[in-house]
Amino acid sequence: MLTDWQLERLCAMAYFDELVNRFPGGRLGRVAFSLLNGGFGGLELPAAMTETDWRRVMSDIQNDAALRTLTVVRSSDIAFGTRAIALGDRAGSVYAVFRGTSGDGEWLDNALGMTQAETAQQQAAARFINELRKRAGKRRIVVAGHSKGGNKAQYVTVTTPWVEHCFSLDGQGFSPDFLTKYKKEIAERKTRVTLAAERRGFVNCLGLYLHDGASFYAGRRADPYPGHPYGDALPFFHCPDSLRGKDGEIGAQSFQNPIPESLNRLIKYFLTEPKYAAGRKETATGLVSLMMENKSASGDNIAKALVEICVVFMDLVCSDSAFREKADAVFTDETVTMLATFETVIHTQKSDEPSSLLSLFAEQFSKRVETDKEARGNFFRSLKYLALLVMRIFMEPEVENAILDHIFWFIGKLLKHLADILAGGVKTALIPSLWNTLHAQTRGEKCLTCTKEERDSHFGKMLTHLDGCAEA
């Protein structure tokens, strides 16, 4: 049976499923050979990987006898509603490899996967495995997949009796309903599942984990890849090649970065706290619409989703001390680098007028704060926490001034906009107070040189005022 690191290479190959389709009954080495010898010309390279990255994958396959001699057993079949390849080896094993998200329909399916027991795409993956079983007979079935493909691989391992081993590479998690419905099967089969991700991977944290044994690796971001066009973008943390350094070797086993770790804690709270049950599906689909830049999606629905997540975040900040204590861990040198990934996006959004989405968000958020006493109290208590968190960012020596300026611009724009809308409803003197204090202490070099005593003095009166407003 192939190792997990050989399966990791197959996870990448699944993104060339249409090319693999051209070699029914042929060997995977032929696909790699065709690509290495001019086959990349005219191809749109998938999965946020460059031609250099893909050549490394193909070379690894060519140089590995177990991989290059794999035979194409079954290609992706749209009739099953899933994207996958199936490969067989001489030892009697069959490897089904699912590719990641493809198209808007699968993005929405991702959202549903966090809010209901199972989805159409997951069930299609199970049909693919059941059909493969009919053809493969008693041959061993092993599954793998990246991103959404990793979620499908986990799903079929739990819901079908045929899978002996699963490798999920930064695969999405599941809903509470799935974990309840298949509680018995999960208990019996979870040890068959390997969960792996680059420690800054941001998909594995979307949903509940199948088990607590996920492994995280310091991938190629630990060895900066000069000139790589995706080097400062989030896909770099998630692509099928993300576990490897620039030398092509798997990175050292490490720990999950505090940002995706905290995001998972937030999502888990949202998915399991009964008071948020009514709006889960709408919130999840709204956030996914924002992520995939769905132009047909309602801005109002997206704004509602953002408001709901902000309310959940404020609730968690105020109720979970462990979540709050992540603040110091989050702003390590590494994580500060992640802030830089948004610099270009932030710069392009900078304008004199707030975006329509920001206006919708601020309007709906203010209404929620006005009408929901618990949300209002959490809002003011959260502002105290966020004020300290923001100051922590600005005091971090590794944050470049250009990034500070862009982040600061967004904070100021949002606070001033909220102040204008909330003026008639609740006490809002703290918002301009917060803005003015940040403005005075974080412009230029002064914020980077003030002592702890000076910083405490700067924020003392403002934080006292925030405490008072929290009871309003």
- Shared domain check, 247 and 147: yes
Cα(71)–Cα(52) distance, integer angstroms: 25
Residuewise pLDDT in 10s, the chain (472 residues): 999 999 999 999 998 877 777 777 789 998 898 888 877 777 788 888 888 888 999 999 999 999 999 998 877 655 556 789 999 999 999 999 999 886 656 778 888 899 999 999 999 999 999 999 998 888 899 999 999 999 999 999 999 999 999 999 999 999 999 999 999 999 999 999 999 999 888 899 999 999 999 999 987 654 444 455 544 456 678 889 999 877 778 888 998 988 888 889 999 999 999 999 988 988 988 877 766 655 455 677 888 888 999 899 889 988 888 887 765 555 554 555 555 444 444 444 444 444 577 778 878 888 888 788 898 888 877 776 776 666 666 555 555 555 566 566 666 666 666 666 565 544 455 555 555 555 554 444 444 445 556 555 555 555 555 555 544 4
Return the bridge partners of 254, or none: 216
- Cβ(329)–Cβ(396) under 8 Å? no
Cα(first)–Cα(last) distance of the chain, in Å? 64
pLDDT at 40: 74
| Predicted confidence (pLDDT) per residue in 310-325, tens digit | 899 889 988 888 887 7
Burial 320-348 (b: 16+ CB within 10 A, else e): eeebbeebeebbeebbbbbbebbbeebee
Same domain? For 233 and 264 the reply is: no
239 and 264 housed in the same domain: no
Q: What is residue 412's predicted lDDT score, i.e. its pLDDT? A: 62
Mark which of 223, 251, 279 sits at the end of a domain: 251
Distance between CA atoms of residues 174 and 414, nearest Å = 33
Distance, in Å, from the CA atom of 385 to the CA atom of 48, rounded to the nearest integer, reads 36
Provide the pLDDT for residue 444: 40
- In 10 A of CB 400, how many CB atoms? 12
- How high is the mean pLDDT of the chain? 78
* Secondary structure element (H or E) that encloses residue 316, with its range: helix 299-319
Quote the number of domains for the chain. Answer: 2
| CA contacts within 13 A on the Cβ side of 293 | 0
157 and 81 in a single domain? The answer is yes
Q: Could you list the residue range(s) of the whole structural domain that residue 409 is in?
A: 260-470
**What residues pair up with 143 in beta bridges, in sequence order?**
96, 166
Strands 84-88, 93-98: parallel, antiparallel or unpaired by DSSP?
antiparallel
Q: What is the pLDDT of residues 200-239, one digit of tens each?
A: 888 999 999 999 999 999 876 544 444 555 444 566 788 8
Q: Which of 226, 251, 276 is the C-terminal boundary of a domain?
A: 251
Pairwise CA distance, residues 24 & 28, whole Å: 10
Over residues 409-419, the pLDDT tens digits come to 666 666 666 66
Do 83 and 231 lie in a common domain? yes
For 321, 377, 379, 381, the CA distances from 317, given in Å and listed in that order, are 7, 12, 10, 9
Q: Within the chain, how many helices (H) and strands (E) appear?
A: 24, 8
**Cα gap 144→266, rounded to integer Å:** 27
Q: Nearest Cα to 364, choosing from 417, 412, 316?
A: 417
Are residues 129 and 73 located together in one domain of the fold? yes
Q: Are 73 and 86 in contact (CB under 8 A)?
A: yes
Task: Look up residue 262 and give its two tokens.
Answer: 């905290």
| 220 and 105 in a common domain | yes
Same domain, residue pair 268 and 223 = no
Long-range contacts of range 55-59, CB-CB < 8 Å, 24 or more positions apart?
56/241, 56/248, 57/9, 57/12, 57/13, 57/32, 57/241, 58/32, 58/33, 59/32
Residues 286 and 213 placed together within one structural domain of the fold: no
Helix spans in 41-147 (H): 51-62, 65-68, 104-113, 120-136
Both tokens assigned to 14: 């699944």
Q: Are residues 264 and 247 in the same domain?
A: no
CA separation (Å) from 121 to 107, 118, 154, 155?
A: 10, 8, 13, 10
Q: Please say whether the dihedral angle defined by the alpha carbons of residues 285, 287, 288 and 292, taken in this order, is positive or negative.
A: positive
Say whether both 267 and 160 belong to one domain: no
Would you say 85 and 72 are in contact if contact means Cβ atoms under 8 Å apart? yes
The answer on 191 and 44 residing in a single domain is: yes
Query: Which of 251, 269, 294 marks a domain boundary?
Result: 251
Partner residues linked to 142 by β-bridges:
95, 165
What pLDDT sits at residue 408?
60
